Amino acid sequence: RYFATTKMADKQKELEANESGPQAPTYPQAPAYPQQQPPPPGAYGQAPPPPGAYGQAPPPYYGQPTTYVFTNAPGQQAGYVQQVPQVIHTGPVPQDYLVFALITTICCFWPTGICAIMKSVETRDMIARGNMAAAEECSRKARMYSIISLSIGLLLVLGVIVYLIVLFAVLIPSWG
What mean pLDDT do residues 152-159 have?
96
pLDDT of residue 122 exceeding 90: yes
Q: What is the pTM of this model?
A: 0.49
pLDDT of residue 1 exceeding 70: no
- CA 37, 41, 44, 48 torsion: positive or negative? positive
Residue 70's identity, in one-letter code, is F
- How far apart CA 59 and CA 56 sit, in angstroms, is 9
Structure confidence at residue 56 (pLDDT):
53
What mean pLDDT do residues 38-66 have?
58
Structure confidence at residue 121 (pLDDT):
96
